[in-house]
Amino acid sequence: MSNELSSFSDALAGLVNVAGASVVRVDDGTRLTASGLVWEPGVIVTTSHGTERDDELFVVTHSGERLAARLIGRDPETDLAALRIDGDVELTPITRPAEDFEPRLGQLALAISRPGDYGLVATLGLVASVQPTQTAGTPEYIVSTDADLYPGSSGGALLSAEGALIGLLNRGFGRGMGVVLGTPLVARVVSSLLQHGRVPRGYLGLKMQCVVLPDALRVTHSLAQESGLLVIHVEPGSAADAAGVQMGDTLISLDGAPLDDVSGIRERLAAGRAFTLELLRGGQRQTLTGTAAASPA
């Protein structure tokens, strides 16, 4: 048993040593610092709340080298930011999992970060919950961990037992608890920040409110959902206007997925992508199609 424990301990220490080279400290000149991950050569991903300033940013590497960095862009909705380190600095990108990787409830997870002046910090826990999400039909996930996260850990890594990145730590989302933004989500946002400096999301041009669907309509149209989205305003010339949406319509599905919350549209809609809306108008079920515009900057 002691040999097994020793081997397990050595394996964990090995993971920390390897992944630690890809975990940096981010200093934005304020009292608090954040952690960050080397995403690709010259690119650091961290949290937006951990980089309050847009300039005079610095990154401290695993070797203690302090490097100037500049903001590529930030996405307040996911609380992610991307930084670029200029120059020929060789940093090792964090290892990402295979495309078919799915986090499993209860699996061991290793949290690694560089909070404040503590240097590299590692804590061990479990994947405590898994919340599947999607953006424009692409599967993503958000998980939580019971591994202890110190102030300044946001932007660090949660690793699987194989050493692959499960996701990016974010104490801000969990109000101090271990919320982790899954690797596919982080990859999508960073890709958009590198291309556009922001994340252009799908925009319909609607104002809506959630309403309870009458039982009679639910029975008539075989709807399992209890609510829909009542359209209270259609912006002239918008994507919704071009598709034929009218004030007073009740939206019930987007691309075949039920709509019972306004946030459901933002999660599933992508700029420039075709969409299919099902709605109730005058008690009749209708289907409209269109192409989403990009959200205003």
SS3 content of the chain, % helix, strand, coil (to 5): 15, 40, 40
DSSP state of 1: -
Q: Which fold has domain 202-294?
A: Pdz3 Domain (2.30.42)
Q: DSSP 3-state assignment of 195? A: helix
Residue 194 has φ and ψ, to the nearest 5°, of: -65, -35
Tell me the per-residue pLDDT of 98-110, one tens digit each, with 9 for 90 and over.
988 999 999 999 9
pLDDT band at 160 (very low <50, low <70, confident <90, very high): very high
What CATH architecture applies to the domain 108-184?
Answer: Beta Barrel (2.40)
DSSP state of 263: H
Which candidate, 91, 41, 48, 93, places its Cα nearest to that of 71?
48
**Of 213 and 3, the one with more pLDDT:** 213
The chain-wide mean pLDDT, for the chain, equals 90
Give the pLDDT score at 121.
96
Tell me the per-residue pLDDT of 213-257, one tens digit each, with 9 for 90 and over.
999 999 999 999 999 999 999 999 999 999 999 999 999 999 888
What does the DSSP assignment read for 55-75?
SSEEEE-TT--EEEEEEEEEE
Give the pLDDT score at 72.
96
Domain locations in the chain? Answer: 2-85, 108-184, 202-294
Give the pLDDT score at 174.
63
Q: DSSP 3-state assignment of 209? A: strand
Percent of all residues in the chain with a pLDDT value above 70, rounded to a whole number: 96
Q: Which tokens is 167 given?
A: 């996701």
Tell me the per-residue pLDDT of 112-148, one tens digit each, with 9 for 90 and over.
999 988 899 999 999 999 998 877 667 899 999 999 9
Residue 252 has φ and ψ, to the nearest 5°, of: -120, -20
215-218, Cβ contacts within 8 angstroms, sequence gap of 24 or more: 217/280, 217/283
Q: Do domains 2-85 and 108-184 have the same CATH topology?
A: yes
Residue range 34-49: mean pLDDT, rounded: 96
Q: Is the dihedral of CA 74, 76, 77, 79 positive or negative?
A: positive
Residue 176 predicted with pLDDT over 60:
no
Through-space distance between the first and last CA atoms of the chain, rounded to whole angstroms: 59
Give the pLDDT score at 32.
79
The Cα–Cα gap between 270 and 179 comes to 24
Q: How many CA atoms lie within 13 A of 54 on its CB side?
A: 5
Q: Are 171 and 201 in contact (CB under 8 A)?
A: no
Q: Identify residue 5 by its one-letter amino acid code.
A: L
Residue range 39-53: mean pLDDT, rounded: 93
pLDDT band at 262 (very low <50, low <70, confident <90, very high): confident
Give the pLDDT score at 180.
95
Q: Which tokens is 236 given?
A: 């002239």
Which candidate, 163, 138, 187, places its Cα nearest to that of 17?
163
Tell me the per-residue pLDDT of 272-297, one tens digit each, with 9 for 90 and over.
788 999 999 999 999 999 998 877 76
Give the pLDDT score at 271.
74
pLDDT band at 77 (very low <50, low <70, confident <90, very high): confident
CATH class of 2-85: mainly beta
pTM above 0.75, yes or no: yes
- With b for 16 or more beta-carbon neighbours within 10 A and e for fewer, the 109-127 pattern comes to bbbbbbbbeeebbbbebbb
**CB neighbour class for 230 (10 Å; exposed up to 12, middle 13-18, buried from 19):** middle
Give the pLDDT score at 4.
86
Give the pLDDT score at 33.
85
CA distances from 279 to 164, 202, 260 (A): 43, 19, 12
